[in-house]
Structure 1
């Protein structure tokens, strides 16, 4: 088995339960944004009496913030059992949809989840805070192009400006808006395969049979731009 095939085999055999990207440790290198989402979230959590975390994934990041407010709810529809297993011991209720979470929250966190402006406004108390880091429409677009796949979203379809406009229309007062394009480098083809298994919406029909020739033709390390934006806003 050559290096290419071995790298692909490792990536296909790696487990993808939860939201665990540890397989990519040492295989990918991503530049940091100028902000730290965790550093911004921590004091907001400490001051909150009621916290809602939207699209918590496996609950890994939310659990890392413990101790959490007495009333903490997490929304997760993709892998609710994984999130509940991790967060249940912390007293966190896991619900399948934002509409099921209730209202009166002091703080809504949303890291890379669907940002429903109107639904978030309903969940927050008056004067409550939203902190969200989003993945923009141009995220890793060079990877799609290199593998001959269409982009997952049209350019400009989801950006800081689009999100800020939707939040303002829902009654939010914008406090901070930032947008950046940090570089992400894949050291080997297996790293790309695992990334596309975890982030399946990047190339929904990805397969080795369909995209393997282009994957083999890439020069490694292979670098693309990610697309991140941060919004902090208050509800009215």
Structure 2
């Protein structure tokens, strides 16, 4: 999503026009350029893509887990002699293959909840940007002794203003899922030493209802099973609220994981 506010670019288009446009927009990959001028999200201060690129430049064999469309890995200035990525969603898999193969990286089809299809100790660097659920046992298994897991995770209660607008107040276990300290404990139990763990809460703004719809279609775990038809009336109410009060404000949470295999 855009990192600086530009205000709404939708003029006086109707509710139905905005929904039609958002439903027609492609959702594969992690390219958020569609949101330019229509939504903003602050970026974490640590600059994950840049830091990941620096580490890739020093690695000999790397694995990017749940690479999406390969956009973050593909933006690295250089890749290791052995560079591999996994992805489970077919549209993303095709996009990542087209982007990363010319860079010499291999893209492997692998479901999010499946064991990683690699031998023990195959990589000295494992990376991931926003994995659905990090499998620390598998990450530790494919890392060489002394190897590094470097990732940016989605934190607890991320974008919960939207979640609870559509789904109502969530139970405590859902609200507290993805807590950094819980993930630290899971990583350590798998044999990883957490070298650094940083967390930030970041402001988001949605300037029109089309941006909300496209976001919910693209980031499918925010409101599972979301469709415009199922949520038309809450969407209409939110559209009117944005016209009356201005942008819908939410907050994302992120944490930076830097861990080493003992």
TM-score in terms of structure 1 length = 0.93
Among residues 206, 215, 229, which one is paired with 1:186 in the alignment? Answer: 206
Distance 2:225 2:69 in 1: 24
Q: Summarize the alignment of residues 117-128 of structure 1 with structure 2, pairs less than 5 Å apart.
A: 117-128=136-147
Give the distance between the partners of 2:130 and 2:28, measured in 1 at CA: 18
In structure 2, what is the Cα distance between the partners aligned to 1:133 and 1:188?
28
SS in 2 for 1:181: strand
Q: Give the distance between the partners of 1:133 and 1:160, measured in 2 at CA.
A: 11
Aligned match of 1:204 = 224
Structural RMSD (CA): 1.9
CA distance in 1, matches of 2:41, 2:61: 33
Shift of 1:46: 1.2
Describe the SS at the equivalent of 2:64.
strand
1:86 to 80, 94, 99: 99
CA contact (8 A) 1:84 1:93 kept: yes
Counterpart pick for 1:226 among 252, 255, 258: 252
Any conservation in 2 of the 1:28–1:185 contact (CA below 8 Å)?
Answer: yes
**Alignment match, 1:69:** 80
2:117 pairs with one of 95, 100, 109: 100
CA offsets, 1:87-115, max 9 Å, x none?
A: 11111111223521333311111110131
1:95 and 1:101 in contact (8 A); partners too: no
More displaced 10-residue stretch of structure 1: 168-177 or 39-48:
39-48
Aligned length, in residue pairs: 236
Task: Output the TM-score relative to the length of structure 2.
Answer: 0.84
Q: What runs of 5+ residues in structure 2 fail to find an aligned partner? A: 1-11
**Gap change, CA 1:156 and 1:127, over 3 Å in 2:** same
Which residue of the partner structure matches residue 161 of structure 1? Answer: 181
Q: Which runs of 5+ in 1 are unaligned?
A: none
Secondary structure of the structure 2 residue equivalent to 1:214? helix
